[in-house]
Amino acid sequence: MALFLPKEYRPKMVPEMMEHAIKFIKDTFQTELSRKLRLRRVTAPLFVLSGTGLNDDLNGCERAVSFPVKFLDDKRAEVVHSLAKWKRVKLGAYNIAPGYGLYTDMNAIRADEELDNIHSLYVDQWDWERTIVEEERSLTFLKKIVDEIFDTLRMVEQAVYDKYPHITPILPEKITYLHSEELLQMYPDLSAKDREFEAAKKFGAVFIIGIGDELGDGQPHDGRAPDYDDWSTENEEGYKGLNGDIILWNPILENSFEISSMGIRVDRKALLKQLEKRNCLDRTELNFHKKLLENKIPLSIGGGIGQSRLCMYFLRCAHIGEVQSSIWGEEMVAECAAHNIHLK
């Protein structure tokens, strides 16, 4: 999205209180999320070795920030894009039983990001993963977990209101579920982002199911790597995909606002199918993929939830730079300041 400058924007927090409010939201959310999903906190890496298959390649075109490691004969390490695959390995390493999982603070650098109100070079999110059994690889179970996350969002929004009564709740009571194919049928003449806009504006909060595989128009709703979310398995509603995005309506930006990408992860069958679809079968030689194909990595469900985006939403901020410190162009800083948006 292009930089959006709300008319007559007034921050809900003075600078002296902003840091306190950010900490309050982060502490409250992760405590409640870990309780609801039965997650324990673990320490995450900032970088992993290249060539292991552990890093997430997102849509497949973003470059990872990398560097040589002198101690390892200049083998290259790369800053993580996310921890989608690393978390699954840790579930097995820690022998975490089905019904329980882990979460961590994930920090990343995305050098190719186009900067605007919601995109930064610096990414901070809660990455979480939970062990499941074969019977839980279903849309019904996916929705159950999404409901738990949405209940957590509503609880935190209420806590923010209790502490800062001038920030009134706006989330709907329930989140609406729509498959990306249904969304295409509802708005066949719109782009995927415009379809998200219309759905979020209408329902307030939506979970868009099935992101990665081609839809009826021959295009995916959005890109997904082939080796973490399962976007190809047919679900019990007759559509493809056991993954999706949580998208809220943001009244400050007057736009749809993604706060989480998540899903049931690929099993052996789905991994092979998706690698073949994306012409990536060479990845079967990577360490992570070999272990998964040998059933040495637990079945799981997991995702990421943007920390700064969540704070931005609950504090009704117009720019992610109000809640995190990063690098912004001088022109953007000046333009925002002229509209009462002060970037860190």
- Token pair of 210 as six digits: 């099935």
Contact assessment for residue 152 and residue 32, using Cβ atoms and an 8 Å cutoff:
yes
Helix, strand or coil for residue 62? coil
Q: Which of 30, 32, 110, 213 is catalytic?
A: 110
Please identify which of the residues 120, 180, 256, 261 carries the catalytic annotation. 261
The contacts of residue 175 (CB under 8 Å, 6+ apart) are 146, 147, 150, 203, 205, 206, 207, 246
Q: How far apart, in Å, do the first and last CA atoms of the chain sit?
A: 20
- CB contact at 8 A, 126 and 246: no
Q: What is the DSSP letter of 333?
A: H
Given the residues 30, 32, 34, 56, select the one marked as catalytic.
56
Q: Sheet harboring 66-69: ordered strands across?
A: 47-49, 75-79, 66-69
Is the Cα torsion angle 32, 37, 40, 45 positive or negative in sign?
A: negative
Q: Is 267 among the catalytic positions?
A: no
Check if the beta carbon of residue 51 is closer than 8 Å to that of residue 286. yes
The question of whether 324 is a catalytic residue gets the answer no
Residue in this structure with the two tokens 């415009």, named with its chain if needed: 194
The torsion angles phi and psi of 101, rounded to 5 degrees, stand at -165, -160
List the catalytic residue out of 125, 274, 324, 326: 125
Q: Give the active site residue among 181, 227, 245, 322.
A: 245
Is residue 222 annotated as a catalytic residue, yes or no? no
30 is catalytic: no
Under 8 Å between Cβ of 206 and 176: yes
Whether 245 is a known active-site residue: answer yes
Residue ranges of E strands in 215-272: 243-250, 255-264
Active site residue 308: no
Q: Which residues contact 129 (CB under 8 A, 6 or more apart)?
A: 87, 88, 90, 91, 101, 102, 103, 300, 301, 302
> Reduced to 3 DSSP states, what percent helix, strand and coil does the chain have, rounded to the nearest 5?
35, 20, 40
Closest CA to 300 of 258, 265, 335: 265
Query: Which residue among the candidates 62, 113, 258, 335 is catalytic per the annotation?
Result: 258
**What amino acid positions are annotated as catalytic residues?**
56, 110, 125, 245, 258, 261
